[in-house]
Structure 1
Amino acid sequence: MNAKKYVEKTFEEMKQRNDGQIEFHQAVEEVFKSLIPVFEKHPEYIENGILERIVEPERQLMFRVPWVDDNGNVKVNRGFRIQFNSAIGPYKGGLRLHPTVNLSIIKFLGFEQIFKNSLTGLPIGGGKGGSDFDPKGKSDGEIMRFCQSFMTELCKYIGQYMDVPAGDIGVGGREIGYLFGQYKRLKSTYEAGVLTGKGLNYGGSLVRKEATGYGLIYFVDEMLKGKGMSFKDKKVVVSGSGNVAIYAMEKAQQLGAKVIACSDSNGYIYDKNGIDLDTVKKIKEVERKRIKEYIKYHKDAEYHEEHRGIWTIQCDIALPCATQNEINEQEAKVLIENGVIAVGEGANMPSTLDAVNVFLQNGVLFGPAKAANAGGVAVSALEMSQNSMRYSWTFEEVDERLNNIMKNIYINTVKCAEEYGYKDNYVVGANIAGFLKVADAMLAQGIV
């Protein structure tokens, strides 16, 4: 069968089988379009149904999560875990707690995770999970009771050699601690490698908190170096103010950039003097308050209610680090009109397909999420390695390994883009580089 027709046919069949799952469709479409030249060169992938199999999760779990709030009221949320592909290692991917979580979002995240994990060069497969539980405004006791209930069901399907969850939106060190405590209680074993993002005093890794943000900057820095540029004196806008955004801002500042804006789901702050990161960390990591508190400490700064307005700010480098589809086609055009030279995706799929096309058609250096934000899962895998060895590396050792992983992702992305005729298209390059390793492993293991 003609490669293009094969890809189009498989995509249409996927849409019919997953009706209404818009985010999942979007993630699959972006990858599938990139793979047409691969199938032209490797018909054995068609013959062995690689595409049909890779787009169907190996296992989809959905379950009830009952818990009791501080007032004694029974609440019920829905839990998910998608175990997408284990061809190159145990399922690996975060848990997201957010009211928007549904099957489509968890499947898009799990599908992306297959290729992202492959790109790291480490032996980890793709998975994702979460719940429509909203941790905002909840007490520590409520979050603990939810996490314990969630893990009571999830523990049946995870393990250090089967599926290793981590954190994502709404899941930080506090939540991982409660989840790990309940797992240990239920299993009566100290299986440190079952979860990553743990506290340093019970099996966690240094640099894990910083990993996604640092990794993003390491990847974008490689893109800039490839064109004879650097972060020095560049104006940077970062959406979000969670772990990814905070540590992307930190590393960008260390490399000489001037970060002038960041946001949360309510609005964004603009500081022409450069964002004071200590203030952001105090607001978000200690006080757990909204970003608008920043202007109480910095009178020259501005706060704007509409968080998407952050993309109207003139900048050299844009780093979307909040959530999916936060930059649309029009916002991409505004960024280009304002002189953006590089975009690095710190969040998962933060640019719509139309926005990505606008960036690529206008020569913007574009680091797609599955390559640019792979640092988090890379250090999660390094945490698993340390747990297996009963040993901990220093901050500098982990950071150096992370930097090397991101450099290799960039090198392999560039190599595949050029080999398949898409020079400077890091979207295609990352998709192909991530796919080839998984596809070859699937071929070797037979029709399973």
Structure 2
Amino acid sequence: MVLPSEPEFEQALQELAQSLGYFLQKNPSYQKALDIVQIPERVIQFRVVWEDDSGKPQVNRGFRVQYNSALGPYKGGLRLHPSVNLSILKFLGFEQTFKNALTGLNMGGGKGGSDFDPKGKSDAEIRRFCVSFMTELSRHIGQDTDVPAGDIGTGSREVGFLFGQYRKLRNEFVGVLTGKGNSWGGSYIRPEATGYGLIYYVEHMIAKACPEYSLTKPSTLVAISGSGNVAQYTALKVIELGGTVLSLSDSKGSLIAKQGFTKDVVQKVAELKAKSGSLESFLSFADEHAYTYYPGQRPWTLLPQVHIALPSATQNEVSAEEANALVKAGVRIVAEGSNMGCTMEAIKIFENSRKQGGDGGVWYAPGKASNCGGVAVSGLEMAQNSQRLTWTFEEVDAKLKGIMRECYNICLQAGAEWSGEDVSSGKEILPSLLRGANVAGFIKVADAMKEQGDWW
């Protein structure tokens, strides 16, 4: 039987399978677990009919991919974007399964969303869409079954509308969604969590690989793509620590700051993006001598020198050509704030560069490890909801730092043990965090499935 092409999912599966090569060679019985875990437990697809402001009915496709529940309730965001299709949601749910495993929290993997585009819609239209979407989705989720969250296109406004409809339909106030408002069940640090967690992970990479590029030094040059939630808080944390952020971007182009972005400027960008504005329009109220806008380009080829690159926009946003440009610019660390931010060809360039050993090369961290801070704090929100309490900002931040530290250590150890790389030349080669993350996450999920009788 010929299955329909699902390029994004097939890429994610191929990346995992390649990373598991040496582990499966030594543990062939786990091949059966790989065969089984790649198929989602359940795929739900439905229509979403809503009324626009002119009174006309509109229709979109709704999805929820409940991928794996061996470690806990399905957990993963709801993406609202015209590009949403089953391939993208399967790839995201598949990645989410192993990402959640790396947090150390009891969460399975899932993902959902719709091809609805919130941009250009009124609040009333978005509310009516969310009401219709949740009316169907509510049949399939619950605090101990499936706990969705926000994602691209699904911010605090949309989470509020979705939660309100679930509460009305089920007549219960439970932690069925994460990313809620702080006054009604949300958690501190949740908006910041993915960006902050990314930097906490990267700080460990820097300490081991290139301490001369500490983020406390203004001379450390950081390139960031995207200008949404993840990119904003990633940039703000780098600036807070003392590093220099050179770039932000959106779907229309890149904004380069010659002397680096300031906290105030990043906050202005956040206000602009909240109104669905583009970075190009930012120049109308900024010092045009301090910033340059490049339409239709991503930042990776625009910077003559960069030490740390943090893709934080969307999948496959770093190509092989752009990876080579980053290597030429002197990049030492690439860590994904987005999911599957680098193409397989780009990853190969980074990984081959790493194998040079010594002071050369690029150390690469996949999103399932480096950006797991967001879902980690979602898990902490679930725990707070279960206990009917709220932890302080400082308490949640400390827990996030601990989770990212443990995730890094797990990836480092598994990468050293299961990379299967020849170090007989005597060169000190940094362990592959890509293989470490994939192997460690896979083993945890596969072992839980085996103990529950899903394979034998």
Q: Could you say which TM-score interval applies, normalised by the shorter chain?
A: over 0.9
**Amino acid of the structure 2 residue aligned with 1:447:** D
1:94-125 CA-to-partner distances (Å, cap 9, x unmatched) read: 00000000000000000000100000000000
Query: Any stretches of 5+ residues in structure 1 without a counterpart?
Result: 1-15
Mapping of 1:62-81 within 5 angstroms?
62-81=45-64
Residues 224-254 of structure 1 show CA distances to partners (whole Å, capped at 9, x for unaligned) of 1012412222111110001100000011112
> How far off its partner does 1:35 sit?
1.1
Deviation at 1:367, TM superposition (A): 1.1
1:271 Cα deviation from its structure 2 partner: 1.1
How far apart are 1:372 and its partner, in Å?
0.4
Aligned to 2:244: 258
8 Å contact from structure 1 (residues 263, 310) kept in 2: no
Matches within 5 A, 1:35-434: 35-46=20-31, 49-191=32-174, 193-229=175-211, 230-231=214-215, 232=217, 233-285=219-271, 286-295=274-283, 296-300=285-289, 301-314=291-304, 315-363=306-354, 364-420=362-418, 421-422=420-421, 423-434=430-441
Q: Contact 2:236/2:266 (CA < 8 Å) preserved in 1?
A: no
Deviation string for 1:284-328 (max 9, x for gaps)? Answer: 345442112332222221111113254431311111100001111
Q: CA deviation at 1:50?
A: 0.9
Aligned residue for 1:3?
Answer: none
Count of matched residue positions in the alignment of Structure 1 and Structure 2: 430
* Mapped contact 1:94–1:167 kept (Cα < 8 A): yes
State the alpha-carbon separation in 2 of the partners of residues 318 and 309 from structure 1. Answer: 10
- Secondary structure of 1:66's match? strand
Give the counterpart letter for 1:427 in structure 2. Answer: L
6, 13, 16: which is aligned to 1:31?
A: 16
CA deviation after TM superposition for structure 1 residue 419, in Å: 1.1
Q: Determine the structure 1 residue equivalent to 2:452.
A: 445
Normalising by structure 2, we get a TM-score of 0.92
Which secondary structure does the structure 1 equivalent of 2:109 belong to?
A: strand
Identity of aligned residues (%): 52
The DSSP-based 3-state class of the residue aligned with 1:419 is helix
Kept after mapping to 2: 8 A contact 1:211/1:376: yes
Per the alignment, do residues 402 and 86 of structure 1 end up closer, same or farther by CA in structure 2, a change over 3 Å counting?
same
Query: Normalising by the residue count of structure 1, what TM-score does the alignment of the two structures yield?
Result: 0.93
CA distance in structure 2 between the partners assigned to 1:237 and 1:341 by the alignment: 12
The answer (yes or no) to whether the contact 1:280–1:294 under 8 Å persists in 2 is no
Which whole-Å CA distance do the structure 1 matches of 2:446 and 2:47 have between them?
34
Q: Which runs of 5+ in 2 are unaligned?
A: 355-361, 422-429
Report the CA distance shift for 1:350/1:18 in structure 2 as closer, same or farther (over 3 A): farther
* Alpha-carbon distance between aligned partners in 1 of 2:300 and 2:256, rounded to the nearest angstrom: 8
Residue identity in the other structure for 2:315? Q
Listed one character per residue, the Cα deviations across residues 108-147 of structure 1 (whole Å, up to 9, x for unaligned) are: 0000001000000000000000100011111111111111
**Letter in structure 1 aligned against 2:5:** G
Distance 1:206 1:21, change over 3 A: same
Deviates more, 1:348-357 or 1:422-431: 422-431
Tell me: CA distance 1:311–1:207, structure 2 relative to 1, closer, same or farther (3 Å): farther
